[in-house]
Structures are given as C-alpha cells and as structure tokens.
Amino acid sequence: MKLVRYGESGREKPGLVDASGTLRDLSSLVPDIAGDTLTPEGLARIRAVDPATLPAVAGTPRIGACVGGVGKFVCVGLNYTDHAEEAGMPIPEEPVLFMKPTSCIVGPYDAVEIPRLSQKTDWEVELGIVIGRAAKYVTVEQAYEHVAGYCIVNDVSERHFQLERGGQWDKGKGCDTFGPIGPWLVTTDEITDPHQLDMWLEVDGKRYQNGSTRTMIFDVPTIVSYISQFMSLQPGDIISTGTPPGVGLGQKPPVYLKVGQTMRLAISGLGEQQQTTVAAQ
C-alpha cells in the first residue's frame, strides 16, 4: 500500500493511493497515518477494505509528511562507503547515529528554508524506515517484523553548523524544514528488497546524486536491530539510513544551496519529492 497524508499543514487527513493512482480518503477507517495505524493490526484493517469503496479525493491537495505524530527521527551517518570517502571521514565500524528533531519534518513538496547565517546548506537523498511494531533489543533476524514500510527522506544539512560550530551534528541537521518525508509511506509488501533501490537528486536540473541502496554499509535489519539496543522504537518512528555520494560538500569545489533553487529527488518505488529553497523568516 501507498499511504499518504494530505491537506493543509497541521490538519492533514489520512489517505491511500490506489493501483490507478487515485488518492482515496481513509478518514472513515483511521484517524491518521501514525502510531497504532502503522502496527501490523492497523495495516491489516486497511488492507481488508477494497480501495474502490473509499471516497476519491477531489482536486490536487497539498501532500503532507507521510507519517504524523513522529516520536523519534533517528539518522545514520556515513552509511555509504563512497559518501564517507567524499566527506573525508573514516568508514565507520558501527552505525553513526544522530537525531533530527521532529520539528524539522515537512511535506515532500513544501519549501525548504535556508537558515539565517547559513553558509553551507546541503542536500541528502535517503531511504527512510518507518517503524510499525515496538522494538527493544531486537535481533537482526527479528528486525523486519518491526518495519511498517519505507519512504524518501531529504536529510537537509547545514555543514557549517554541523562540522564547524563546536561539535554535535544535530545543530546542522535540525533546522526547520530540514526533514521532508514522503510523498508516500510504502508498506513492506510492495518493496521486495530495500537494498536494491536506485536513488537520485537534482538541483535546478543538474543531477548530483545518482546511487543505490545496494552500496549501504549497514543494511536495514542491522540498523533497526542496532538502534534498538540503545533506545526503544515505537510505531511511527522514522530512521533515515544515510546517503550515497554526490552531496554538495563532496563537489570540487563544494556547491551549496541558495535561495530560489529547486531540488528534485526520488527513490525507485517510493515516489519523488520536489522542494524550492526560501529564506528563513
């Protein structure tokens, strides 16, 4: 299934994109694409309904973040060998973890703000894992049982804040609008292998990132299991799994975002995002 949230910011409704591409309203079945809706039992209730019986949504409403009420937004850094090399950092022996505050989450087509005092705002197309079953001390073999589905994440980053402002990556990762997710949450039954997905990102039509999840260092079950050793995960939590090479930091010379530019990014099977950059107010 392709689950979506649509409508004005802060008042999104739950929806489903059917096989024909029609957006269907799920409000009669679930309150939101969040929490208990994402458990195996919650998803089973949605699957039991014929999408053709659900109301079609008229017009072209705004598409919001594909998960609501996110409790944790956990990220894995340097999870692609060639990206670690372009960043001039050692290949990690264990997953590098950091957090993005949930206040950074926006829809896949919402504007991205260039922060005040920004010098080096950058882009990162990433595979997002959406948790569907509570996970604490799970094994690698058990990990897939705790995944509801996948989505696109643009892990927007301010490198000057991240790397040159006294340590701690979070300050360069958590600015408002730095976490576009969606357009869809695609459930695991539609993604045969999350490690065989092509991914790309363009800025103003120029393709900078052109990679694949095949080159991840730590795979999906390893990541879910590893994080669950340090913190419990709940339905609706999001894990962003790292980016392939081609970020602005890695260009020679480096290239960073400016106000008025357009990012387009996609992952096979998970749809496409597009954001325009604006000045933070």
Q: Report whether 159 contacts 228 (CB < 8 A).
A: no
On whether both 17 and 106 belong to a single domain, the answer is no
On whether both 30 and 151 belong to a single domain, the answer is no
Tens-place pLDDT, residues 164-210? 888 778 899 999 999 999 999 999 999 999 999 999 999 999 999 99
Whether the pLDDT of residue 88 is over 90: the answer is no
What pLDDT was estimated at residue 160?
Answer: 95
| Section 219-223 average pLDDT | 98
Q: Does 193 fall in a domain?
A: yes
Which DSSP category does 185 fall into?
A: E
On whether both 121 and 245 belong to a single domain, the answer is yes
Q: Report whether 266 contacts 247 (CB < 8 A).
A: no
What pLDDT was estimated at residue 89?
Answer: 77
On whether both 31 and 92 belong to a single domain, the answer is no
Q: Give the mean pLDDT of the chain.
A: 96
Tens-place pLDDT, residues 58-86? 999 999 999 999 999 999 998 988 777 77
On whether both 43 and 108 belong to a single domain, the answer is no
What pLDDT was estimated at residue 60?
Answer: 95
Q: Does 62 fall in a domain?
A: no
- Residue 251 sits at the vertex; the CA angle it makes with 76 and 220, to the nearest 5 degrees, is 20
Tens-place pLDDT, residues 13-36? 999 999 999 999 999 999 999 999
Q: Does 181 fall in a domain?
A: yes
User: Total domain count for the chain?
Assistant: 2
Name the band, by pLDDT with cuts 50, 70 and 90, for residue 161: very high
Q: What percent of the chain has pLDDT over 70?
A: 100
What pLDDT was estimated at residue 83?
Answer: 78
On whether both 158 and 77 belong to a single domain, the answer is yes
On whether both 121 and 205 belong to a single domain, the answer is yes
Q: Does 63 fall in a domain?
A: no
The larger pLDDT score, comparing residue 89 to residue 276, is at 276
What pLDDT was estimated at residue 87?
Answer: 76
On whether both 46 and 86 belong to a single domain, the answer is no
List helix spans (H) across the chain: 40-47, 81-86, 159-164, 170-173, 220-228
On whether both 37 and 164 belong to a single domain, the answer is no
The two structure tokens encoding residue 257: 């975002």
User: Hey, what long-range contacts does 157-166 have (CB within 8 A, 24 or more apart)?
Assistant: 157/121, 157/122, 157/123, 157/124, 157/247, 158/115, 158/118, 158/119, 158/120, 158/121, 158/122, 159/119, 159/120, 159/121, 159/122, 159/248, 159/249, 159/256, 160/118, 160/119, 160/120, 161/115, 161/118
Whether the pLDDT of residue 1 is over 90: the answer is yes
Domain extent at residue 46:
2-53
What pLDDT was estimated at residue 226?
Answer: 98
What pLDDT was estimated at residue 91?
Answer: 84
Tens-place pLDDT, residues 102-152? 999 999 999 999 999 999 999 999 999 999 999 999 999 999 999 999 999
On whether both 78 and 110 belong to a single domain, the answer is yes
Q: Does 68 fall in a domain?
A: no
On whether both 36 and 78 belong to a single domain, the answer is no
Residue among 216, 208, 210 at smallest CA distance from 252: 208
On whether both 22 and 92 belong to a single domain, the answer is no
CATH number of the CATH domain containing 140: 3.90.850.10
Q: Does 171 fall in a domain?
A: yes
Q: Does 138 fall in a domain?
A: yes
What pLDDT was estimated at residue 84?
Answer: 75
Q: Does 66 fall in a domain?
A: no
| Section 227-248 average pLDDT | 97
Whether the pLDDT of residue 274 is over 80: the answer is yes
pTM for the model stands at 0.96
